[in-house]
Structure 1
Amino acid sequence: MLQELTIKDFAIIKNLNLSFNRGMTVLTGETGAGKSIIIDAVGLLAGGRGSSEFIRHGAAKCVLEALFSLEGNSLTYELLKTYDIDSDEGIVIIQRDIHRSGKNICRINGRLVTIATLRLIGESIIDIHGQNEHQELMNPERHLSMLDHFGDKELVGLKKDFQETYTQYKKVEKAYEKWQNGEQELAQRLDMLQYQTSEIEMAELLDGEEEELLEEKNILSNYQKIMSALSLSYDVLQGDEVNGIDLVGNAMTDMSSLEEIDEKYKNLSEAISNSYFQLQEAASDILREIDQMAYDENRLNEIEKRLEIIKQLKRKYGDSIAEIKIYYEKISAELDQTMNRENHLTNMTKELADLSKKLIKKGCQLSLKRRTVAKDIERSIHEQLQELYMEKVVFEVQFFKPIKEFLSEEAHESGFDAVEFYIATNMGEPLKPLAKVASGGELSRMMLAMKTIFSKSQGITSIIFDEVDTGVSGRVAQAIANKIYMVAVHSQVLCITHLPQVAAMADNHLYISKSVENDRTKTHVNALETTEKVEEIARMLAGTEITKLTLEHAKELTVLAKIERQKQKKIS
């Protein structure tokens, strides 16, 4: 549920803070006051397309922020978990800043996210129903996804299962076509693979070889420096004449005679004694190193040549000997496949045939489920349309291909089905494509019928109706008001309306107005109390001049609406 909305420097709005309640909230007011701007702001927080044109004149950026309570919305919880966004308190705070440069900064619970992530999570919380959704009905290509949207978990599972097989099928199909059609390319590839495998094999690379060679090269390259240091050190420690070890030995003998005089002399004696034996050991180690040292220029040349070979192979095939070996295994397998092309093609043909059967089987299961769901939709839509005074309308989901005619090469990511919504608006008329024969008012009621059905199962936190009641009046207007309230029983509903019947049904009423201050337009939002609500409904009924009779009519509408709200709550 949308609880708080903050808008700063957005269109004509300088600074606006709104609080929202449960149930059905209507937004009414004069044209151009900012009703749709508020809905546009919510739409941007749901991941809508942003533009620097939204920024208020004179401002560097606009800031939009909303606080939602999830109230058990499992889909949103799962998405937040997927993107590692904290949601322990069941609260989602969405913020979006749009800068003059076009840069968008989006945050969910303080975490930076991309527009795509914002849209994915935002659409699980907010569902904005406006004229664009009428366009969805007018586009037959969207009808299949709308049908799937109505489906249960079984349909979702079947569709996901099909898509996994479809992805695998297309991958094998692409590989098969490449192997079958690329004769010249394959011949060139074969030559290259043979050359590369041969080059790596001839190198006979060993694990850890490069490190050992570099270490040995370092020693041979510094032979003179090492020998000089070792020799000088040995002469100092244990030369033929006076040497360091003998001198330390004399000091050790002298200090040992003082050990019984005082503890501190004993400690000094032990320290010198330890040093004496350590120096002796060091001298022996140095002598052993001198005896083992030998300069071999040929060996150094061999090492440098070997390291150059490894360097060239690393430049071509990987950053290390381990990576070169991994690459070798990969191309060896490909070489084997290429040299045994016919066998490989035979295996791929069999794999493709098996996947084709599997794809058709899963596609048939998905289509059968869709046809069952389609009947459920038709039945539910007819029930809703009767309550919207479209009882004569016949609605049907038409499938254009029988299941027995499914071919794997005609599959698409969503299955084999192509569907379109058909209606007959008058008794005795044949069914025709909805997109070609439905009027604006009929499209509005059709979408509202679908929203009424979907709202019970979608788990959407907030649903927004942006002037969906355009082009209707009288009893149809009241029926639309009842339907919108029915949706509000299951989800929070925000609704921009010009119909007094819809406004009367609302639990909460926000009046949007504007004024000019310091030569700038300013938007105001007031929550109307009972008396103010009646006056606003009277204005919607009568226009500019409100009479006593109009006020009485408005009061009557609010009383009848209260009775209808109680009725709807009992039904739900």
Structure 2
Amino acid sequence: MLINLHVKNLALIEETEVDFTDHLNILTGETGAGKSILIGSIQSALGAKIPKDMIRNGCDSALIELIFHTKSEAVRKKMEEFEIPFEDGEIIISRRITNHRVINKVNDISVTIGRLKELSPLLLDLSGQHENQLLLKPQNHLKIIDSYHRNLITPIKEKTASLYHEYQELRQTLSEQNMGEEQRIREMEFLKYEIQEIEEANLQSGEDETLEAQYQKVSHAREILSDCSAVHEMTAGQSGCAGDLIGSAVQKLYTVESMDAGAKGLTEQLQTIDSLLNDFNRELSGYIDSMEFDGEQFAELEDRLNLINHLKAKYGDSIEKIQKYHDDSVEKYEKLSNYEEYISKIKRELSKVREKLDIQCDKLTSLRKDAAIPLTQLIKEALRDLNFLDVEFEIAFEQSEQYSPHGRDTVCFMISTNPGQAVRPLHEIASGGELSRIMLAIKSILADEEGIETLIFDEIDTGISGRTAQKVSERLACIAKKRQVIAITHLPQIAAMADAHYLIEKTSDSNSTISNIYLLTEEESIKELARMLGGVRITDAVLQNAREMRTLAKQ
């Protein structure tokens, strides 16, 4: 469940912190007080795009932080997959927004936006106007069925998707190989030329790096020889070189040592230096002798490097890539040499994959139809609880001739909300208020199946009033018995059901406008209910009505 929300410098919010509770959390407030900003901040913390202009005026950055406590096994596995520390079921998600970047962290570990979006659906489900509109698209109805029996359907869907991609690749390969005899011969001749060119080069692994080092050495041979000869002159040349001077110094120290045995250590050190210098001079002489410039050898080296670089430009920027290109070309050449046999093989493979794909698609259809039976009944019962008294609800299946990663099923929710009226596609008849109630019914059913611990409803009361509003409030309270529910509402019937009631309030002065959120006491909650019932003027009668509404909600 969501334990805490902390928002700083976001739009109208200077800084606010909310501790949510179990069961039903209700947020109310005047229109424009900042309720949508608060819900938007939760969406943003869980990976939604954040516009730069959401940073509060005069501030360099904004911060959103969510703290969850969860017992979900799916969340634990995902945290282990991401290698993020996860102790005592606590998850802290934070996003810091600046003008230049957004920093995402989970339990103080930086994460990508992709990983944040993978984790968030396991923690909570948020329904708003956008999610309700998704019901108008029949392709989303299939997702709802798959979510309802996900444990059975997901493994078959994954196999189907894998086979579908294999099927598409084989079809693409077959399409690409659909060539005439003249084109096939032309392609073979071209491949033969490329294969021969690479083979004649007789490339060796690492050869290019070795030759490059040799080329650098030989191309600078004159400069190297000149500098090394100068060094040799300094260390072992004419009178006055380093070797002569150190030799004379050694003789001087012998004389000193004969007069003072304490100088023996100094003599030995200088003798060592003299010996090292002699060794150095011998090695330097050998190196100089090896640096004789051979013009013919240099030309051969240059030609070989030019050939390798030419092949790199055509076939790959390394010898390994050139060799791979060669191997791939040989494979293509062999396929074209036995073209009819190759095409027949692809067709046989395509036929086998299609048969397997048909089997998986049929399994998917069967599982979905099995799932649709109890799901239809559960949705129908939930809709009746939400004041669709004479509702009829069905799930219609059709099978396409075309394959997709999800099988061949197309599904449409069919509904009738009036007696005597035939069921019709949901998107043809549902109003905004009906959509929100249908989504509430579906979410309450899927939450049990998916094990989601927190449900958030943004203005679930759109387009409803009276008895229907009361039914919606009772449904929310029923859902909240098993999990945490957070809901924004304008209706007192729903607000009266709150286990925790929060007021979002906007205050202004000459310099700024600020939104804050407060947890209301029981008496403050009754006054807020009275405001929602009575508007500007709150009379004793309105207060008494609000108190009775609150008392009835507790029963």
Shorter-chain TM-score: what band?
0.7 to 0.9
Residue in structure 1 matched with residue 458 of structure 2 by the alignment: 466
**Equivalence for 2:509:** 517
Structure 2 residue matching 1:463: 3-state secondary structure: strand
Amino acid at match of 1:534: I
Report 1:148-163 matches (<5 A): 148-163=146-161
Distance in 2 (CA, whole Å) between partners of 1:104 and 1:214 is 43
Q: Which residue is 2:323 aligned to?
A: 325
Q: Secondary structure of 1:367's match? A: helix
Given the alignment of the two structures, is residue 537 of structure 1 paired with residue 514 of structure 2, yes or no?
Answer: no
Task: Work out the CA distance in 1 between the residues paired with 2:446 and 2:157.
Answer: 19
Identify the range of structure 1 (256-265 vs 23-32) with the bigger mean alpha-carbon deviation: 256-265
1:211 Cα deviation from its structure 2 partner: 4.6
Question: Which residue of 174, 178, 181 corresponds with 1:180?
Answer: 178
| Residue 105 (structure 1) aligned to one of 102, 107, 127 | 102
Q: In structure 2, list runs of 5 or more residues that go unmatched.
A: none
Change (3 A) 1:514 1:488: same
Q: Name the residue aligned to 1:388.
A: 386
1:93 match: secondary structure: strand
Secondary structure of residue in 1 paired with 2:462? coil
Measure how far apart 1:154 and its partner are.
1.9
Q: In structure 2, do the counterparts of structure 1 residues 81 and 182 end up closer, same or farther at CA, with 3 Å as the change threshold?
A: farther
Matched-pair contact (CA < 8 Å) for 2:198–2:326: yes
The answer to which structure, 1 or 2, has the higher relative contact order (CA under 8 A, 6+ apart) is 2
SS of the residue 1:505 aligns to: coil
Deviations 1:336-372 (A, max 9, x none): 2233332221221111111111111111112211111
**1:217-253 Cα deviation digits (max 9, x unpaired):** 53596379659968996999799x9999999999999
Shift of 1:311: 2.6
1:570 maps to what in 2? none
Q: 1:41 to 1:236 in 2, by over 3 A?
A: closer
Kept in 2, the 8 Å contact 1:76–1:125? The answer is yes
Paired residue type of 1:470:
T
Structure 1 counterpart of 2:354, which letter? S
Q: Is 1:238–1:283's contact at 8 Å kept on the other side of the alignment?
A: no
Structure 1 residue 500 displacement after superposition:
2.0
Unpaired segments of 5 or more residues in structure 1? Answer: 564-572
Shift of 1:520: 4.3
Choose the corresponding residue for 2:202, options 201, 204, 207.
204
**TM value normalised by structure 1:** 0.83
Letter of the structure 2 residue corresponding to residue 23 of structure 1: H
CA RMSD, 1 decimal = 3.8
CA contact (8 A) 2:221 2:292 kept: no
> How many Å apart are 1:266 and its aligned residue?
5.9
Shift, 1:207, TM fit: 3.2
* 2:499 aligned partner: 507
- Please give the alpha-carbon distance, in whole angstroms, between the structure 1 residues aligned to 2:550 and 2:139: 42
Cα deviation for residue 394 of structure 1 reads: 1.8
- The Cα of 1:213 is off from its aligned counterpart by 4.1
Distance 2:267 2:340 in 1: 86
SS for the counterpart of 1:68 is strand
Q: TM-score, normalised by structure 2?
A: 0.85
2: CA distance, partners of 1:323 / 1:138? 51
The 2-side partners of 1:302 and 1:413 are apart by 57
Following superposition, the deviation at residue 413 of structure 1 comes to: 1.8
CA 1:337–1:247: 2 relative to 1, 3 Å: same
Please state how far the C-alpha of 1:484 moved relative to its aligned partner.
Answer: 0.8
Q: Closer, same or farther in 2 for the Cα pair 1:263/1:463, shift >3 Å?
A: farther
1:106–1:188 Cα change, 3 Å: farther
Given residue 343 of structure 2, which amino acid in structure 1 is its aligned partner? L
Q: SS state of the match for residue 505, structure 2?
A: strand
SS in 2 for 1:21: coil
What is the aligned counterpart of 1:415 among 407, 415, 425? 407
Write the mapping of 1:198-347 to structure 2, written as runs, cut at 5 A.
198-214=196-212, 218=217, 222=221, 226=225, 296-347=294-345
> Is the contact made by 1:165 and 1:355 (CA closer than 8 Å) also made in structure 2?
yes
Q: Which amino acid aligns with 1:344?
A: Y
Determine the structure 2 residue equivalent to 1:372: 370
Q: Give the counterpart letter for 1:35 in structure 2.
A: K
Moved more, 442-451 or 370-379: 442-451
Question: 1:234–1:286: 8 Å Cα contact kept in structure 2?
Answer: no
Cα distance, 1:376 vs. partner? 2.0
Structure 2 letter corresponding to 1:551: L
Corresponding residue SS for 1:301: helix
* Cα distance, 1:418 vs structure 2: 0.3
Shift of 1:378: 0.9
CA contact 2:27–2:503 (8 Å) conserved in 1: yes
1:139 corresponding residue in structure 2: 137
Distance 1:536 1:40 in 2: 23
Using the TM superposition, give the Cα deviation of residue 131 of structure 1 relative to its aligned residue in structure 2, in angstroms.
1.9
Question: Alpha carbons of 1:245 and 1:440: their partners in 2 closer, same or farther (altered >3 Å)?
Answer: closer
Q: Write the deviation string for residues 425-483 of structure 1: whole angstroms up to 9, x where unpaired.
A: 23443221122123333322221111211222323343211221233334332221121
The answer as to whether partners of 1:130 and 1:466 remain within 8 angstroms in 2 is yes
2:47: which partner in 1?
47
Counterpart contact for 1:4–1:20, Cα < 8 Å: yes
Distance 1:556 1:183, change over 3 A: farther
Q: Secondary structure at the match of 2:126?
A: strand
